[in-house]
Structures are given as C-alpha cells and as structure tokens.
Amino acid sequence: MSKSRKAAALLILMAAGSANAETPTAPSDATPAVVQPVGLGRPALPEEVAAWNLDVSPDGTGLPKGSGGVTAGEEIYLEHCAACHGDFTEGLDNWPSLSGGEGTLDREDPEKTIGSYWPHLSTVWDYVHRSMPFGNAQVLTADDVYAITAYLLYSNGLVEDDFVLSDENFTEVQLPNADGFIQDDRAKTEYPIFSTEPCMENCKESVEITMHASVLDVTPGSEGDAAQDAPAGASVD
Amino acid sequence: MTLRSGTTSRRAFIRAGLAASAALPAAVSAARGQGAPDPLITEVQDWARYSGDGVDATPYGLPIHFESDVIRRNVPWLTADTISSINFTPIHRLDGTITPAGCAFERHHSGAIELAKPDYRLMINGLVERELVFTYDDLERFPRSQGVYFCECAANTGMEWAGAQLNGSQFTHGMIHNMEYVGIPLKTLLAEVGVKPEGKWIYVEGADASSNGRSIPIEKAMDDVMVAFKANGEALRKEHGYPARLVVPGWEGNLWVKWLRRIEVTAGPVESREETSKYTDTLANGISRKWTWVMDAKSVVTAPSPQVGIKHGPGPLVITGLAWSGRGAITRVDVSVDGGKNWTTARLAQPGVPRAMTRFYLDHVWDGEEMLVQSRAMDETGYVQPTKNALREIRGENSVYHNNGIQTWWIKKDGSAENVEIS
C-alpha cells in the first residue's frame, strides 16, 4: 500500500512539474520535469574560457588587442590563403573569391564576397581567426588576422595600401552591404498567401513542360557504371 | 543474385495474380500466365538446402549486399572539396520515416572528426550565473528526453531555384534525415548554469576545425532544443556529431551544431560567417533575408521518380513520398498525376508528428500513359506548400536556400521518369 502511494505521489509530482501534462496518471511527456540545477559539471577556469571564447561580435566584443596593416597582410595572405583563394583574392576553382562582385546582388548569379555581400567586418576577423586557414585552423596570431583583414579590405578597394587595422579603429570600418539585410519576413510576405484552401479539381486548363533536367545533364552517375553510379531509373529491383 | 532475387518476387506476384484470376479480365490473366513451372519453386534452391551464416558472422551488420546501391551520394561539382561539402540521403529507396544513420546525409565544414567521449568537454559560458564545464559522463546523468525530428539543410532543393537541374529525389531533396534522438533538453543545461536576465541569445559552436557557430534566440533555446547523444537508439555516428550534437527541431540543419563543444549566452547575435555570408536568402532586389531559421512545409514524391522509374507496366502502382514542416505536424498531403490540374488526398501512413517526417501513399492504378506527378503538403498552421513559381514571384531565383516548392516528375510511357518544370 505505502509503496503504491509513493508511486502515485511521484507521478503527480512529475506531472505537476511539466508544462504539457494532461493528466496526473500519464507521465509520458517528452520533457523531464527537472528545472532546478542538479549540481553537475564543474566551474570553467578563466584560462579555459579564454581559450574557447573567441567569437567576435559586430560591436567589437571579443576582439583582442593588436594591429596589422595591408602590406604585412599581403605577405601573410600569400603564404596561408592564396593557394585556395588566388594570389589576388579572386578565388580558384570552386574556392570562393574574396573580392569583387559589387552591384551584382540583384542580378542573375550574384557574386557574394566580403566587399559585395558581407555585412560585418567582425565576421571576417572572427572566421579567419577561428576557422582559417582551411585544414590548418587557428595558427594565425591576432596581429596576423588584423593584417589579413586589412589586406582583404584593400583588395575590395575599401582602404588604401597604407591602412593599418587595430582593435581601436576596428568598428569604424563599415562594409558596403551592411544595410543589405532584413529579418525573416515570411510570416508577413508569404504565410498569408500560402495559407488558403487549395484547389482540388480542374485547377488549370492546360499543363506544358517548360524545362527538363536532362537538358543540363549534371546529375552524377547518369552515365556511370551500375555498381557505383546507378544510371537514373536503373536502380529498381 | 540481384536479378534472381527480383525474379523471385515478380513470380511470386504472378502466382498471387493467378490465384485471384477469377476476378480479373481474361486478357490480364492471360498476360500474367506462366507457361512452364517456375524452377525457383519446383527445384530446391541452395538457400533451402544449405545452412546460412551463424549468429556471430556479423557482430554489427550492414544492409545485405543486394542493397549496396542504397547509399549516400555526392554531387562533385557543387563544392570545391569533399571535406567542406554535403552528400545526399537515398530517399528514393527508403520507406517509412526513420532514416538509417548509415545513409543519412552528411554536411561538414572541415570534415567529420573523431572526438572520443573521454576527450569531450561542453562549456557553457557568457551571461550566466555559473560558467561550467561538463564531461560526456556528466551529460548522461541529466534527465533525458526523446523526440523524432527531421534535420533538413537550408540548401535542400537549392540547385532547383533557376529550374529543373538534377534527376532524382535523392539529389533534389536528399539533404534531409529524420531520426529519433535521445538527449538533454537544452533548457535543463541552461538552468544548471543560470541564464542572466540580459542573456537573450545563445551562440553554439562545434569542436571541429571550422568551429561552425550559430546564434539562436533564447526563446528557442528554452523551448525544444536538445543536446543529443543518441540517434535511432545508438550513439550518434561520427559524421553526425559523435558524441554530442545540437538538435534544433524544425529549424535549418546548419544550426544543429555537431561535436558541440560550447554554448555561450550572449546579449545579441554574433553574426558569424554561417549566419551572414551563408544561410541568408537574397531576394530579386538584392536585399537578403537573414535569420530564416524555420523550414516551411514541404513534400516530395520519392517513388516513382527519376532514379526509380516504374518497371512493372500498367496496373497497381504505389506512389509514395515524404512530407515535413518545421512549423508543426503535417495534416494532409495531396498528390496530382496530371501536373496539378486535379489532386487526390493521399493516405498518411501515421498521423503527422510536429517537426518530423510523415510518410504518404497514394494507391494508384496506372493506365500506362504519361504522368506529371506532384505532391503538396499542408501543416497544422494551414500553410500549403507553394509551387516553385509562386516562390519565385516573391523571392526571385537567387535565394539559394529554403526552396520548398512543389516538385514535378514526368513519368513517361516506358515508366522512366525525369525532373521537369511545368506551366
């Protein structure tokens, strides 16, 4: 008796602690009831936080002290970046170009680069610092990253060749497309239009095929061997 | 062996057809007639005489080799290098809703890393009462939750914005998987550190060399986000973030940070590379939408489709596909075989589950004529999956991301299929 009373009390507690519970006899919520600290984990040491807390925000939060200029940046760029992005930041093969593309955003196939698209310089600094060079990340010093960032600004025609970027003048730099973004507006511009009862019968008079994927013929394996790249339509059975 | 296996089932079907021939037109039963006894039935086969493998032959199994073509595939021209790239789930050959981990698509920004549980650390820092570090063992001691969720890359179907391009639902819609996760509600971990009132966002990053990071509003973080360590009952696969990843139900896959190592509570968004230069949707006027996190309702007929045409000729045909919505449960899927002139409501295999995949079937009798097959999903908000042209009218063709338009497969008289666009 006392055992089952305890079980019943536990069920009620669990149900009371969870927002979605419908009845006290059905503790089947996906979410556990605990919302208070349970005392797991240990304090992060300042050195540990400093080692990982590297992200930089648009207002400069997270930028370390340091500086670097265009000239030094070009040398570091040629050593660490040019193999993929090209000697002149033009991009090689499918690796992205880092400059150019101004005025292409409203055209077919816009060219999105730091100069034409990126809204915040902090993103450049942060990404180069934490994620580049590709395959050998986090080898660049803060001064290296200031210098590379200065060189990328120069490559985009945004500063002169004597420009030196530092934590002190960092937030003075505005990228050209800073105002080119709006917050997701689908709730206003799309959801009302796409939330009407759909047509079920005689919805259009005629249907014509206007485009074939086979014209482009870019599907992998469309002429491959059966084992590795099954031809389209050949993999049934 | 594949051929013989296929032959077996085809003949079994013929036999079943014969048994029911009294109800069929004479011409049909004549066409299905078998002139001579089937040796697969009349002769004792090897597998019916000799023993098979013992229980220890395969301690952890892969699909039988007959299914070796049901695999993830890459589109080499999409990216510069497979290390920072994506592959595609073979949705055209799967059924049900759960994606087997072994063929669930992968997206890496600096490759799939090996991070052992003893080496795993999760730090929560920033605007919190207590900056804490958790080990993997710590994670397993928190109260757990479970949920089935789809994870769709925002770029799924992105190659189709300017028109029909890739032939196969694997390539047009395969940047998606749907798994059952077990982990810890993120709000539990955030309660452990104590979020300060000024903490309005979290910034999440992975342990890999890209340290791919994204900003998420605290409301979502406190709602249904999970730190998951199991998927489909087993440990996360390496390529899906072993030993722990973020699960962000209904929101674009890029937010589902793998090898999760740090959560920073911040006052504002970090505006990292992945939320500015990428995963922003450029409209026709050159202005770009940012923070387009939620995945709108979408569906696709997975079969028949270009990689899996109809091989059996006219008659009974299962038209099947998947539907999902990041804004709630799928409530209805309509299917058209005439390019959207007329629609039939398909059968949902199970009632829709919020932010998880739903399987649909239309049990069709094919007359052998050409078809233009489409599917159209509706979710519990009343949202109806739009046509691609309706999306283009609003967004243009340069959005790259969030293409949830209706897909059309042209089924030809020979049963083969092609990705097309229609008027």
Which of the four pLDDT bands, split at 50, 70 and 90, describes residue A218? confident
Put simply, whether B380 touches A (Cβ < 8 Å) is: no
Does this complex have an ipTM over 0.85?
yes
Mutate to test the interface with A, among B277, B393, B397 (most CBs of A within 10 A): B277
Distance, in Å, from the CA atom of B82 to the CA atom of A29, rounded to the nearest integer, reads 41
Put simply, whether B342 touches A (Cβ < 8 Å) is: yes
Distance, in Å, from the CA atom of B212 to the CA atom of A130, rounded to the nearest integer, reads 9
**Those residues with Cβ within 8 angstroms of residue B297's Cβ, 6 or more apart along the chain or in another chain:** B323, B324, B325, B326, B327, B330, B377, B378, B379, B383, B384, B385, B404
Domains of chain B: total: 3
Q: Is the dihedral of CA A228, A230, A236, A237 positive or negative?
A: negative
Nearest to B209 among A36, A137, A182 (CB): A137
Tell me what pLDDT residue B80 has: 87
Give the closest-approach CA distance of A4 to chain B in angstroms. Answer: 23
Beta bridge partner(s), residue B182: B146, B230
**Considering chain A, what percentage of its residues have pLDDT values greater than 90?**
73
Nearest to A49 among B131, B141, B167 (CB): B131
Tell me what pLDDT residue A28 has: 54
Which of the four pLDDT bands, split at 50, 70 and 90, describes residue B23? low
- Identify the CATH number of the domain in which residue B353 sits: 2.60.40.650
8 Å CB contact of A58 and B271: yes
Angle, vertex CA B255, rays to CA B252 and CA B258, nearest 5: 125
> Position of tokens 């890496």?
B108
Query: What's the 3-state SS for B243-259?
Result: CCEEECCCECHHHCCCC
Contact B128, B194 (CB under 8 A): yes
8 Å CB contact of A35 and B192: no
Angle, vertex CA B403, rays to CA B397 and CA B405, nearest 5: 100
* Domain end point (choices B264, B289, B314): B289
DSSP-derived 3-state class of residue B102: helix
Give the closest-approach CA distance of A91 to chain B in angstroms. Answer: 11
Put simply, whether B82 touches A (Cβ < 8 Å) is: no
Residue B149 lies in a domain: yes
8 Å CB contact of B419 and A38: no
Looking at the structure, tell me whether residues B115 and B259 fall in a common domain.
yes
**Those residues with Cβ within 8 angstroms of residue B25's Cβ, 6 or more apart along the chain or in another chain:** none
Tell me what pLDDT residue B31 has: 58
What CA dihedral angle connects B97, B98, B101 and B102, to 10 degrees? -50
Would you give the distance in Å from CA B326 to the centre of its chain? Answer: 13
- Residue B203 CB: number of other CB atoms within 10 A? 24
Residue B75 lies in a domain: no
Question: Is pLDDT at B325 greater than 70 in this prediction?
Answer: yes
Put simply, whether B287 touches A (Cβ < 8 Å) is: yes
Distance, in Å, from the CA atom of B152 to the CA atom of B326, rounded to the nearest integer, reads 9
Question: Is pLDDT at A138 greater than 60 in this prediction?
Answer: yes
8 Å CB contact of A181 and B288: yes
Give the closest-approach CA distance of B384 to chain A in angstroms. Answer: 5
Q: Poorest-confidence range of A30-34, A86-90, A232-236, B109-113?
A: A232-236
**Which residues on B lie below 8 Å from A193 (Cβ)?**
386, 390, 394
**Those residues with Cβ within 8 angstroms of residue B64's Cβ, 6 or more apart along the chain or in another chain:** none
8 Å CB contact of B110 and A137: yes
Tell me what pLDDT residue A93 has: 87
**Those residues with Cβ within 8 angstroms of residue A8's Cβ, 6 or more apart along the chain or in another chain:** none
Put simply, whether B86 touches A (Cβ < 8 Å) is: no
**Pairing state of beta strands A181-183 and B288-290?**
parallel
**Section B202-218 average pLDDT:** 95
> Position of tokens 């079920």?
A200
8 Å CB contact of A105 and B340: no
Question: Is pLDDT at A231 greater than 80 in this prediction?
Answer: no
Looking at the structure, tell me whether residues B38 and B184 fall in a common domain.
no
Tens digits of residue pLDDT in A52-109: 999 999 999 999 999 999 999 999 999 999 999 999 999 998 899 999 999 999 999 9
**Considering only CA atoms, which of A213, A66, A205 is closest in space to residue A142?**
A66
Q: In B69-193, where does DSSP find H-type helix?
A: 136-139, 169-173, 186-193
Contact B161, B399 (CB under 8 A): yes
The domain in which residue B390 lies consists of 298-420
Tens digits of residue pLDDT in B118-165: 999 999 999 999 999 999 999 999 999 999 999 999 999 999 999 999
Looking at the structure, tell me whether residues B323 and B262 fall in a common domain.
no
8 Å CB contact of A194 and B271: no
Question: Is pLDDT at B223 greater than 70 in this prediction?
Answer: yes
Average pLDDT, chain B: 93
- Burial (CB count within 10 angstroms: exposed 0-12, middle 13-18, buried 19+), residue B81: middle
8 Å CB contact of B273 and A123: yes
**Considering only CA atoms, which of B418, B420, B419, B386 is closest in space to residue B403?**
B386
- Residue A174 CB: number of other CB atoms within 10 A? 12
Looking at the structure, tell me whether residues B329 and B269 fall in a common domain.
no
Contact B127, B203 (CB under 8 A): no
Looking at the structure, tell me whether residues B130 and B231 fall in a common domain.
yes
Which of the four pLDDT bands, split at 50, 70 and 90, describes residue A222? low
Distance, in Å, from the CA atom of B229 to the CA atom of B243, rounded to the nearest integer, reads 6
Tens digits of residue pLDDT in B27-71: 455 557 889 999 999 999 999 999 999 999 999 999 999 999 999
Looking at the structure, tell me whether residues B317 and B274 fall in a common domain.
no
* Domain end point (choices B289, B322, B337): B289
Higher pLDDT, residue A235 or A25: A25
Looking at the structure, tell me whether residues B8 and B104 fall in a common domain.
no
**Which residues on A lie below 8 Å from B415 (Cβ)?**
233
Looking at the structure, tell me whether residues B243 and B95 fall in a common domain.
yes
Contact B181, B256 (CB under 8 A): no
- Could you state, in order of their start, the residue ranges of all structural domains in chain A? 1-32, 55-172
> Position of tokens 């749907």?
B178
**Considering only CA atoms, which of B85, B88, B255, B100 is closest in space to residue B173?**
B88
**Which residues on B lie below 8 Å from A28 (Cβ)?**
none
Give the closest-approach CA distance of A27 to chain B in angstroms. Answer: 12
Looking at the structure, tell me whether residues B217 and B240 fall in a common domain.
yes
Nearest to B383 among A137, A189, A194 (CB): A194
8 Å CB contact of B272 and A43: no
Architecture of the domain spanning A55-172 = Orthogonal Bundle (1.10)
Average pLDDT, chain A: 85
Chain A and chain B share a number of CB contacts under 8 A equal to 299
Looking at the structure, tell me whether residues B139 and B270 fall in a common domain.
yes
Give the closest-approach CA distance of B102 to chain A in angstroms. Answer: 17
